[in-house]
């Protein structure tokens, strides 16, 4: 598309998307030339020095460019210019309306976040989409239709069983409705309460409908623990039967029984990919989860030594469970259960039960960190070309991944550990999620693409969010542009809210009336 036509097109698009912006104000052409940046263009190609011109929300020039007379310029010497990061698994659905500036997200370089993961989405989608169009956020947003959400629409509270054929037909119909209301595809969370009762054929039926509209299937599979391999095989068979591209959410081997089996897990996926299954995955860059003390005992027998022993064994031992907050006894905080057991001359199981009882007596529960993965598995997953970066966090997430995911990968996995090159890490944050979503015009720096851009310092970029302080913002992300507007600058949100709701082809949606 030529420069002029692009500008005209953008004008129409912008005016249609933001009716308050008059044609008159759009007539004064403004552009910005970003000079001297090292370009990581999103494709994974080696970095190169180049300038980038943006105007009317788009990238309109890349290469050796000189400033036009009076044109605004930005000297980006020493900084990397990359496409804005796309977080395909983000839980900001509700928080976004309370916190549309989303500082914890844009401060990481995220310019588009995708909600509706794990089978749980807003409903009806159209109402949520319209609200977001009327009160835009600082960044772009896309949404999936949740399988569990739709299942509950059809089955109500009677969901603890397989669906009948007539119910599945209704779920197909609602999936079609959601796809017409800008859903990017179908998401599922088969390990959770509502989704877990569904049979494979129910998911296949709904995924087929999503596929017809160009959607994908994004899934938190049925098991990430001892039955991980069965769950993976079910997922692949859904992809094959429904002929739908797959996004495997937060790829994980979550218990001691499967730790270290990443090579075998990867082999199953590679074999499926060779058979033509369009399989990609995302992985959050942390080896631990944050929750409450009791969550580790699935049968809820918190004072039964047998159940507690099995739970601690699955975690790889009591040393993998650390108390973060416990108001009845602050002295426990910062210590793991194995250490506390030694101090108090108890067995690990006895110590756990004591923590449960002390908590119950005070009508509270300890906050804990548990180990979910081992580093060699995370590294193996991150080094697969089909694995992208995603947070599984979001605004106000109590886990450091909510505010730290993308800088953590750049600062720790790239700069400190050398697991990935910088261009490859950027590809995993940009063009790979864009490819998964079938977006041609985001996730890459080239003429004609939307100007979602991030400028960061490769020598300093780092996360600061920890389990004790999960809301601390990252540093080293210097400037962030969304649809050409500066939203993050020198450690602060600018207050601009140029975000769009993005549909199946990556375009700003015009679904306004």
**Binding-site ranges for Zn ion (CB under 5 A):** 118, 220
Residue 118 or 463: the one with the smaller Cβ distance to Zn ion is: 118
**Least separation in angstroms between CB 138 and Zn ion:** 25
**Least separation in angstroms between CB 454 and Zn ion:** 25
Separation CA 394–CA 398 (nearest Å)? 9
Q: 318 and 348 in contact (C-beta within 8 Å)?
A: yes
**Least separation in angstroms between CB 174 and Zn ion:** 22
Bond from prior residue into 455 cis (ω within 30 degrees of 0) = no
Packed helices 165-180 and 200-212: angle between N→C axes, nearest 10 degrees: 30
Residue 91 or 208: the one with the smaller Cβ distance to Zn ion is: 91
Element (H, E) at 280: strand 279-283
Residue 491 CB neighbour total at 10 angstroms: 11
Q: 227 and 189 in contact (C-beta within 8 Å)?
A: no
Token look-up 């309109």 returns 60
Buried b (16+ CB within 10 A) or exposed e, 269-302: beebeeeebbbbbbbbbbebbbeebbebbeeeeb
Q: 102 and 137 in contact (C-beta within 8 Å)?
A: yes
Among candidates 243, 199, 195, which has minimal Cα distance to 219? Answer: 195
Q: What distances in angstroms separate CA 35 from CA 81, 268, 488, one per listed residue?
A: 10, 45, 18
Residue 354 CB neighbour total at 10 angstroms: 18
Residue 118 or 348: the one with the smaller Cβ distance to Zn ion is: 118
Among candidates 360, 261, 353, which has minimal Cα distance to 311? Answer: 353
Residue 186 or 355: the one with the smaller Cβ distance to Zn ion is: 186
Measured distance between the N- and C-terminal CA atoms of the chain, rounded to whole angstroms? 28
Residue 247 or 348: the one with the smaller Cβ distance to Zn ion is: 247
Q: Which residue is nearest to Zn ion (CB)?
A: 220
Q: What angle do CA 292, 304, 341 make, to 5 degrees?
A: 65
Residue 220 or 401: the one with the smaller Cβ distance to Zn ion is: 220
**Least separation in angstroms between CB 57 and Zn ion:** 32
**Least separation in angstroms between CB 289 and Zn ion:** 11
Positive or negative torsion for Cα 236, 240, 242, 243: positive
Among candidates 223, 159, 157, which has minimal Cα distance to 189? Answer: 223
**Least separation in angstroms between CB 102 and Zn ion:** 20
Residue 220 or 320: the one with the smaller Cβ distance to Zn ion is: 220
Residue 220 or 354: the one with the smaller Cβ distance to Zn ion is: 220
Residue 35 or 288: the one with the smaller Cβ distance to Zn ion is: 288
**Least separation in angstroms between CB 513 and Zn ion:** 34
**Least separation in angstroms between CB 159 and Zn ion:** 19
**Least separation in angstroms between CB 305 and Zn ion:** 31
Per DSSP, helices labelled H in 383-440 are: 401-408, 422-429, 431-436
Residue 118 or 172: the one with the smaller Cβ distance to Zn ion is: 118
**Least separation in angstroms between CB 356 and Zn ion:** 26
């Amino acid at each position: 598309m030529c420069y002029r036509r692009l500008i005209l097109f953008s004008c129409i698009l912008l005016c249609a998307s933001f009716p308050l912006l008059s044609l008159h104000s759009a007539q004064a052409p403004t552009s910005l030339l970003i000079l001297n940046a090292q370009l990581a263009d999103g494709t994974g190609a080696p970095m190169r020095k180049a300038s980038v011109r943006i105007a009317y929300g788009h990238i309109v020039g890349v290469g050796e460019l000189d400033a036009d007379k009076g044109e605004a310029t930005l000297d980006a010497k020493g900084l990397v210019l990359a496409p804005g990061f796309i977080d395909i698994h983000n839980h900001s659905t509700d928080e976004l309306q309370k916190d549309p500036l989303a500082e914890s997200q844009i401060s990481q370089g995220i310019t588009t976040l995708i909600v509706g993961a794990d089978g749980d989405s807003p409903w009806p989608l159209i109402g949520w989409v319209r609200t977001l169009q009327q009160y835009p956020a600082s960044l772009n947003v896309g949404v999936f239709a949740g399988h569990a959400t739709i299942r509950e629409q059809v089955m109500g509270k009677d969901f603890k069983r397989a669906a009948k054929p007539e119910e599945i037909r209704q779920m197909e119909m609602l999936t079609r409705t959601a796809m017409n209301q800008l859903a990017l595809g179908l998401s599922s969370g088969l390990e959770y309460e509502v989704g877990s009762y569904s049979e494979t054929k129910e998911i296949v039926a709904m995924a087929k409908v999503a596929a017809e509209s160009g959607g994908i299937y994004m899934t938190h599979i049925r098991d990430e623990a001892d039955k991980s391999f069965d769950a993976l095989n079910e997922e692949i068979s859904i992809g094959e039967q429904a002929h739908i591209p797959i996004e495997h959410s937060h790829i994980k081997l979550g218990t001691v029984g499967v730790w270290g089996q990443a090579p075998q897990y990867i082999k199953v996926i590679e074999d499926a990919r060779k058979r033509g299954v369009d399989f990609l995955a995302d992985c959050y860059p942390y080896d631990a989860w944050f929750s409450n003390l009791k969550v580790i005992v699935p049968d809820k027998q918190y004072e039964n030594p047998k159940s507690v022993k099995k739970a601690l064994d699955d975690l790889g031992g009591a040393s993998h469970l650390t108390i973060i907050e416990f108001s009845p006894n602050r002295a426990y905080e910062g210590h793991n259960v194995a250490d506390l057991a030694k101090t108090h001359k108890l067995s690990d199981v006895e110590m756990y039960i004591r923590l449960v009882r002390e908590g119950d007596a005070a009508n509270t529960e300890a906050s804990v960190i548990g180990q979910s993965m081992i580093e060699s598995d995370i590294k193996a997953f991150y080094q697969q070309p089909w694995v992208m970066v995603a947070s599984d966090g979001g605004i106000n997430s109590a886990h450091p991944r909510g505010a730290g995911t993308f800088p953590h990968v750049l600062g720790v996995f790239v700069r400190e550990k050398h697991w990935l090159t910088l261009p490859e890490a950027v590809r995993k944050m940009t063009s790979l999620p864009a490819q998964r979503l079938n977006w041609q015009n985001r996730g890459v720096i080239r003429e004609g693409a939307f100007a979602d851009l991030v400028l960061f310092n490769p020598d300093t970029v780092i996360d600061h969010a920890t389990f004790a302080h999960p809301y601390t913002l990252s540093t080293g992300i210097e400037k962030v542009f969304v649809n050409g507007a500066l939203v993050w600058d020198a450690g602060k949100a600018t207050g601009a809210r140029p975000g769009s709701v993005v549909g199946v082809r990556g375009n700003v949606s015009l679904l306004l009336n």
